[in-house]
Structure 1
């Protein structure tokens, strides 16, 4: 079996080529679908192309002419990792060869296993480097919502413009705290960066919720992505350390998940497998595993 590799820098072309594949499994394809849809919107608003790598690759079965997977490089933060949906191992090896031929300097690969691992390993082999897992993640989908057994004091509310500074500070704290809880060292600038305009835009679209305690103090935050193909992705979920252990995140995540589900959307989220607390919380309210994923780093030396 052979594969055609179709590269494009036009997100509209990716949707034409692989939109049917993404729509057929919109939970598995949620990241590709939302990132690509956002890029289409930016293009149609006349925004200039970003100064970081931005391209998409459709893997096509040459026998049937049907797309079987997508690889993209669109992350706006260093080292600009690839993101990989499931593809056959032979296709992943072919993609690695094509990327080396293109002169792509790839030092990180994220996405579904085993495709991401196969692609990273082949890139490392072809460039004389090694691969290690930086983070194990897991994609979950909500099938049947289970209300939390303990209801903390307070209430959920949609964030308003006056909440922008607080929400921005919590968005920025999310990745650092998650890494610290998992015992990982996060290189500076190696995760999604947020600015005031981004958070303000999410608030304007009603995509950030807060839980207020009995004193009307915000104590937890839950965001979610704009939907694509009927699926929305919850995240980030953040509670500052001083307010943890009271059930705020569980209650707010369940509330937001219920609101989204009742609006007709399917709801999914990612967890860090090294954080048993968050995994337990999401499982308790009805999120079920879909696929294991990993963030892989390609380095020039072996890890001890």
Structure 2
């Protein structure tokens, strides 16, 4: 057991038995830990064998209740729920003392920034901001008016080629090189899209013109991600229409929290999702760490 009531574990099932209720208590805010940890649970043997190490999980308890968690994936992604500056200082010292070297950290804006500073002070690793985003949660779903001609359709096996192609185009647009590499290597199931459910918006003649993906329901939460329309088809209302279809499918599947992330620098998409009924919930950030090479001689 670590000081300050941090408990570490490398057994994902045992961790979820202890911390699952906490994660589900604020499923919208905890959407990334929920999906990341579920993916680790589903692929724990493959991940450990491939990367040579297991994931590490931690929960912060006070008066017998879980107050926060962290998880560190085999590839070095550190995920955090909200922490104070004092708590990030303590956690950074613990992780460094145990020999862990996260490649990056993802959390709400304040926590990510606090941990990045704590980690730099503790280890000397230089943080670099690489991801900023708004988190929205669906309030009352409001279909766009007028709606573009056509209809939504859940994809099938025959659509795999189109889905893969559009996901790659999306990654090129947003600069997700790791996802591009996995797609190009034929490792679709290992990419972040491998476990998603996809919806097309089709024109009346059956031509797909836009796509939205969604996670499975986890803890009552579904995240819509990504939404993609090819550049030459944008500005016609397809993105809004397909987002509504994917959101409606999530509600039908039993989701109580439907969320999505947006680029803060894209006012068009932020305005669109608000018109559809999504409400701003929080801001998130990601920092990657650069570790200096050891001196020679």
TM superposition score normalised by structure 2: 0.86
In the other structure, the counterpart of 1:285 is 276
Give the match's secondary structure for 1:37: helix
Q: How far is the alpha carbon of 1:213 from its aligned partner?
A: 1.8
In the other structure, the counterpart of 2:250 is 260
In the other structure, the counterpart of 2:118 is 122
Aligned pair partner of 1:154 in 137, 140, 150: 150
Q: Distance in 1 between matches of 2:111 and 2:36?
A: 20
After the TM superposition, which parts of structure 1 deviate over 4 Å for at least 4 consecutive aligned residues? 190-197
Aligned pairs for 1:1-304 (under 5 A) are 3-43=4-44, 47=46, 49-52=48-51, 54-61=55-62, 64-74=63-73, 76=75, 80-179=76-175, 188-189=177-178, 193-194=182-183, 195=186, 198=189, 207-266=197-256, 267-299=258-290
Give the match's secondary structure for 1:163: helix
In the other structure, the counterpart of 1:183 is none
Paired residues, number? 285
- Write out per-residue CA displacement over residues 101-127 of structure 1, whole angstroms, 9 at most, x where no aligned residue: 122222421111211111111111222
Q: Is the 8 A contact 2:72 2:79 kept in 1?
A: yes
Q: Is the 8 A contact 1:222 1:253 kept in 2?
A: yes
Aligned-pair Cα RMSD in Å: 2.7
Q: Is the 8 A contact 2:15 2:57 kept in 1?
A: yes
Q: Distance in 2 between matches of 1:65 and 1:206?
A: 36
- Say if 1:18 and 1:280 are closer, same or farther in 2 by CA, change over 3 A: same
Q: How far is the alpha carbon of 1:8 from its aligned partner?
A: 1.8
Q: How far is the alpha carbon of 1:196 from its aligned partner?
A: 6.1
Q: How far is the alpha carbon of 1:278 from its aligned partner?
A: 1.7
- Write out per-residue CA displacement over residues 180-200 of structure 1, whole angstroms, 9 at most, x where no aligned residue: xxxxxx6x4278945565399
Q: Distance in 1 between matches of 2:118 and 2:286?
A: 15
Q: How far is the alpha carbon of 1:87 from its aligned partner?
A: 1.7
- Say if 1:35 and 1:81 are closer, same or farther in 2 by CA, change over 3 A: closer
- Write out per-residue CA displacement over residues 29-51 of structure 1, whole angstroms, 9 at most, x where no aligned residue: 122122223333345xx656343
Gaps of 5+ in 1: 180-185
Q: How far is the alpha carbon of 1:226 from its aligned partner?
A: 0.9
Q: Distance in 2 between matches of 1:98 and 1:90?
A: 13
Q: Is the 8 A contact 1:59 1:91 kept in 2?
A: no
- Say if 1:193 and 1:292 are closer, same or farther in 2 by CA, change over 3 A: farther
Q: How far is the alpha carbon of 1:215 from its aligned partner?
A: 3.3
Q: Is the 8 A contact 2:48 2:74 kept in 1?
A: no
- Say if 1:257 and 1:110 are closer, same or farther in 2 by CA, change over 3 A: same
- Write out per-residue CA displacement over residues 24-83 of structure 1, whole angstroms, 9 at most, x where no aligned residue: 11111122122223333345xx6563433522221222xx1321111112275xxx3211
Give the match's secondary structure for 2:132: strand
Q: Distance in 2 between matches of 1:14 and 1:28?
A: 19
Q: Distance in 2 between matches of 1:37 and 1:72?
A: 12
Q: Is the 8 A contact 1:71 1:82 kept in 2?
A: yes
TM superposition score normalised by structure 1: 0.84
Q: How far is the alpha carbon of 1:94 from its aligned partner?
A: 0.7
- Write out per-residue CA displacement over residues 131-189 of structure 1, whole angstroms, 9 at most, x where no aligned residue: 3322211221101111112211221111111110110111122232134xxxxxx6x42
